[in-house]
Amino acid sequence: MNFDLTRVLESKRAYRRQLAARPLREKLEMLDALRARAIDIQRAAASSHLKADAVGEAPGTYGTGGPR
């Protein structure tokens, strides 16, 4: 089996382009579903030995001079 990274990356790009081109209504429904999934993962992580904020970063400042 050949592992062609270029083809894999191009395939990923094509799928992302396809998702980006979906109607706005569908994309907003996907946001709802993605958020629900993220919350489930956070809850599962919180109830296990994993820390919910294991991957974190500082909030943005948007030019306000301090954390949001």
Partner 1 sequence: MNIRDTITTINELQAAGVIGSYAIGGAVGATFYLEPITTLDVDVFVAFRTEPGQLVSLRPIYDYLTARGCVVEGEYVVIAGWPVQFLPAGSSLVEEAIDQAVEHNVDGTPVRVFTSEHLAAIALQVGRAKDKARLLQFNEAGALDADRFQSIIQRHKLVDHWRRFERQFLGDQP
- C-beta of residue 52 within 8 angstroms of C-beta of residue 45: yes
- Residues 4-43: x/- map of binding to partner 1 (CB under 8 A)? -xx--x---x--xx-xx---xx-xx-xxx-xxxxxx----
Task: Give least dist CB 22 to partner 1, A.
Answer: 8
CA atoms in the 13 A half-sphere facing the CB of 5: 0
Q: In which element (H, E) is residue 45 found?
A: helix 24-46
Binding site for partner 1 (CB under 8 A): 5-6, 9, 13, 16-17, 19-20, 24-25, 27-28, 30-32, 34-39, 57-58, 60-65, 68
